[in-house]
Every structure is written in structure tokens, then in C-alpha cells.
């Protein structure tokens, strides 16, 4: 089987002008630097990197909106920037901060309009719509204008809309941005299940390390336009996602927290920031120790930032 997405030395550089008036200077900025990779049909891939790493630029080239400076790419056999119109029928895309839903109309109306734009067969369309409404749990707000929906509901509708025309590849550009923890988890599960049940190829970009674990089987980390790491999520998880960061604010000065696998990153009068190596000690054990140390005012558990993971990767190589 030929891969669903192929990139060979794909590069994109932009000319950025700086300065004012006559002193304007042109500078070439490389956004994507000779990326080569293959993604099998049905695979789900997380394309992650910090802001400005070249994720969106890559998605834009793969959806045919942007022409690369050099290199080649094929999506489902089409060269995206040359055969964009034909490709549009086979791919779906969600851009996290941009909406395809009509703001003053309920999501149901956008479904209807999209069925027209993609010239879907009426019966096939109705079946598909009902299926999507069920899976994405949209029936309770199908007739509510989009402007009254929560961001989580809206994003579910966005993803459902982009699946209406039976695409074989789904591009998701930062779909979880701005969502709260629960909505984020719901959306990740929906995307993961859809990928598993329908066999659609999923290409997801994110700058949130949490998206790596939950959605994809394979993770590609990019930084400054280059692939830093391309591996199975399970091994990335083992090697780089085995730590959590706990930030605690105490009401009183705490007694010291001293455990194996716990490192104090920062400590000031009433608050501490701890790095926990979850392969050595469980989060629960650390939390109960924290609660004993002093009355707690606030506590957050986070994944390590992508920047620190990337630094970790660079250090190892």
C-alpha cells in the first residue's frame, strides 16, 4: 500500500521584511527545513513542536494552500499545491483558531451547507450526518446557534463538520488550543476512536505534550523546521514523558519534601515546584506527602513542556 502522506526534502522559507521606510531589510527565514517522512494510510500521527517550529506551515503545504520553496510532497497521490481542488474532496481540515461554522446559525445549518459544497448524495449525507451527531454527542446543541456554544462543543462540531464528506485524511491544526482539561480529553478520545474505527489517517499538530499521549500512535517532534524525533508514542512516553511537574502553593511554610524521584525545581517562601519521575515514584505518593507537609492553597499537575522535552532529546544525542 502506498503511503497516505509522503514528504521528501520539503522546505519552505519566507522573506521577512524588517525596519521602516528606506531602511527596510529583507531576511530569509526558513520555516520548514528539508522534512522527509512517510505516513501510512490509517495511521495517526502527532506533529508537535513549540510555537514557530513550522507545524502550521507544513499543514498548509500538505493541504495545498502553500507552495513549498523546494522538495516534494504527495497526499493520497496528489501533489497538494498543484491539484488542490481535486484533493479538497478527500481531505478534511480543522484549524484550531479558525472556524468554518456559521456564527449566528446552529451547527446543523453548517452541515447542510457543507453537504451542498461537497455535492454529497442526499441519502448518504443524512446517514453520515446522523452518525457524526451521535458519535460527537451533538444532538443536545444541534439547533443552538454557534455563538452560544461552549468552546468544547464548538470544537466537537468543527471536527464533525470536517468529517462530513468522508475524507481519508484529517488534518488537525492545534485542535485542543484553549480547551479546558475535560473538553480537551473528550476531543482527544473522539479523534482517537474515529481513527481506530474508521481507519482515517490523522495528522495532528500541537504544542501540548498531552496531545501526544492521547491521540497518536506515532509522534514526530519538530523544532526550527527540522525533525528532532520520529518514534512510537509508547517509546517516547517511556523515554521523555515519564515526568510530571507539580506546583504547590501552601498556606503555611511547609516542611521539606524529600522523596526518591522527586526533585525540587523551585522553592520560595510558600510555594514549591517539583519534578516527579513517575518511573520511580507515583504521583499519588508525592501528592499525599505534599498534603502532609502543610495546608495546601493551590496545586497543579502538568506535563513537562515541549521545550524541556526537546532540550532533553538534544542532551541525549
Partner 1 sequence: MTGLSKYFYIASTSAKSNVAYLGEVASRVIFLAVILYIFLRLWQVTYAETGASELGGFTLAQMLWYLAVTESIILSAPRITQMVDRDVRTGELAVHLIKPMSYPLYCLGTSMGERVVRFALNLGVGLVIALIFVGPIPLQPLSIACLLLALPLAFVLDFLANFLIGLGAFWLEDTTGLVLIYSRITMILGGMLIPIELFPEAMQSWLRVLPFASIVYGPAKMLVAPSTSALTELLIIQSLGIVGVGALVAIVYGIASRRVFANGG
Residue 78 is classified by DSSP as: B
Q: How far is the CB of 98 from partner 1 (least distance, A)?
A: 5
Cell, residue 115: 453537504
Those residues whose C-beta lies under 8 Å from the C-beta of residue 228, and which sit 6 or more positions away, are: 49, 221, 222, 310, 313, 314
Q: How far is the CB of 296 from partner 1 (least distance, A)?
A: 42
Side-chain half-sphere exposure of 147, counting CA atoms within 13 A: 4
60 is a site residue for partner 1 (CB under 8 A): yes
Cell, residue 302: 502538568
105 is a site residue for partner 1 (CB under 8 A): yes
116 is a site residue for partner 1 (CB under 8 A): yes
Cβ atoms of 141 and 173 closer than 8 Å: no
144 is a site residue for partner 1 (CB under 8 A): no
Query: Which part of the chain contacts partner 1 (CB under 8 A), choosing from 1-9, 61-69, 178-186, 303-311?
Result: 61-69
Q: How far is the CB of 173 from partner 1 (least distance, A)?
A: 9
Q: What is the distance of C-alpha 230 from the center of its chain? A: 16
Query: Which part of the chain contacts partner 1 (CB under 8 A), choosing from 2-10, 88-96, 217-225, 242-250?
Result: 88-96
C-alpha triplet 165, 167, 170: angle, nearest 5°: 125
Query: Which part of the chain contacts partner 1 (CB under 8 A), choosing from 57-65, 175-183, 190-198, 230-238?
Result: 57-65
Cell, residue 307: 521545550
Residues in the site for partner 1, rule: CB under 8 A? 14, 57, 60, 63-67, 81, 84-85, 88-89, 91, 93, 95, 98-100, 102-105, 109, 112-114, 116-119, 145
Amino acid at each position: 500500500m502506498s503511503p497516505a502522506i509522503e514528504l521528501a526534502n520539503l522546505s519552505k522559507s519566507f522573506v521577512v521584511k524588517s525596519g521602516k521606510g528606506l531602511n527596510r531589510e529583507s531576511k530569509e527565514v526558513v520555516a520548514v527545513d528539508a522534512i522527509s517522512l512517510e505516513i501510512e494510510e490509517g495511521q495517526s500521527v502527532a506533529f508537535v513542536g513549540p510555537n514557530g517550529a513550522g507545524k502550521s506551515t507544513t499543514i498548509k503545504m500538505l493541504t495545498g494552500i502553500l507552495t513549498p520553496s523546494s522538495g516534494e510532497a504527495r497526499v493520497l497521490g496528489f501533489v497538494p499545491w498543484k491539484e488542490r481542488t481535486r484533493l479538497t474532496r478527500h481531505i478534511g481540515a480543522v484549524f484550531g483558531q479558525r472556524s468554518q461554522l456559521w456564527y449566528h446559525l446552529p451547527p446543523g445549518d453548517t452541515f447542510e451547507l457543507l453537504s451542498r459544497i461537497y455535492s454529497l448524495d442526499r441519502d448518504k449525507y443524512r446517514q453520515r450526518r446522523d452518525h457524526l451527531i451521535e458519535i460527537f454527542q451533538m444532538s443536545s446543541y444541534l439547533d443552538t446557534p454557534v455563538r452560544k456554544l461552549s468552546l468544547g462543543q464548538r470544537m466537537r462540531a468543527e471536527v464533525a463538520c470536517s468529517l462530513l464528506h468522508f475524507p481519508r485524511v484529517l488534518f488537525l491544526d492545534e485542535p485542543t488550543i484553549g480547551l479546558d482539561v475535560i473538553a480537551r480529553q473528550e476531543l482527544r478520545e473522539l479523534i482517537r476512536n474515529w481513527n481506530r474505527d474508521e481507519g482515517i489517517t490523522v495528522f495532528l499538530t500541537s504544542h501540548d505534550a498531552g496531545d501526544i499521549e492521547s491521540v497518536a500512535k506515532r509522534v514526530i517532534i519538530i523544532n526550527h523546521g527540522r525533525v528532532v524525533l520520529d518514534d512510537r508514542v509508547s517509546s517516547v512516553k517511556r523515554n521523555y514523558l515519564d515526568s510530571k511537574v507539580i506546583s504547590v502553593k501552601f498556606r503555611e511554610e511547609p516542611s521539606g519534601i524529600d522523596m526518591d524521584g522527586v526533585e525540587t525545581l523551585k522553592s520560595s517562601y510558600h510555594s514549591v515546584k517539583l519534578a516527579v519521575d513517575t518511573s520511580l515514584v507515583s504521583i499519588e505518593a508525592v501528592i499525599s506527602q505534599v498534603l502532609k507537609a502543610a495546608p495546601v492553597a493551590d496545586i497543579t499537575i502538568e506535563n513537562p513542556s515541549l521545550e524541556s522535552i526537546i532540550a532533553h532529546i538534544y542532551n541525549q544525542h
